[in-house]
Amino acid sequence: MKDFPQTLRNRVRRIPERGNYSKDTIYPILDAASICHVGYVEEGQPYVIPTLHGRIEDTIYLHGAKASRTIKESASGIPLCLTVSLIDGIVAARSLMHSSLNYRSVVVFGTGRMVTEPEEKIRALEAITEQIIPGRWNEARKPNEKELNATNVAAVSIESASAKVRNGPPIDDEEDYSLPIWAGVVPFSNRMGPPVPDSRLGEGIQIPESIRRLSS
């Protein structure tokens, strides 16, 4: 299945023409985001928690300490909502009402389970690592048994999802196009700065390829 069926749960209602239900659109947005926000309700109280994530096929993995309430709740089988948002530009319209952002966003609905199988846990932690620093998994020390035992991993099945995307110039009211006011788009991007070596880095240790790619 390449598209998620449109339902009352995932349908984009406001400006529906910006909605997209294709995995070919949704998954690259999930994979480009540095963090996701996990929403759930515990004893009637809603929570929205930012956290790292990694995706393998139709599963999103989350990790945290053994005591993490968010991971325990995410793995308990209760309904979850995960979101990511990417900003591509600031849209300055002639009117403040029509000023906006160019963006790509995804909302995911699903349920989670605790990962107990060691090989899946390792794959999940690799996916989360590679989400942040592609190539780093094979450069750094892998988690040892003590670290693995201190970490919980939740696997969230992507049961339903939708993307919403805006791109392009401002859309002003027709009568405003003649106003002597600048309008356009200011491109927006998250850029990495030059690497800052740790003060205890051993002499002669060079910047690895994964870090070079991040800061290039």
pLDDT, position 81: 99
Q: For the whole model, what pTM was predicted?
A: 0.94
Q: For the CA atoms of 23, 27, 28, 30, what is the dihedral angle to 10 degrees?
A: 150
pLDDT tens for the 216 residues of the chain, in order: 689 999 999 999 999 999 999 999 999 999 999 999 999 999 999 999 999 999 999 999 999 999 999 999 999 999 999 999 999 999 999 999 999 999 999 999 999 999 999 999 999 999 999 999 999 999 999 999 999 999 999 999 999 999 999 999 999 999 999 999 999 999 999 889 999 999 999 999 999 999 999 988
Q: Which amino acid is at 156?
A: V
pLDDT, position 60: 99
pLDDT, position 103: 98
Among the listed residues 65, 73, 63, 68, the one whose alpha carbon sits nearest the alpha carbon of residue 120: 63
Q: Which domains are delineated in the chain?
A: 16-215 (2.30.110.10)
Find the helix or strand (DSSP H, E) in which 114 lies.
strand 100-114
pLDDT, position 1: 66
pLDDT, position 190: 87
pLDDT, position 215: 85
* Structure-token pair, residue 36: 């996701």
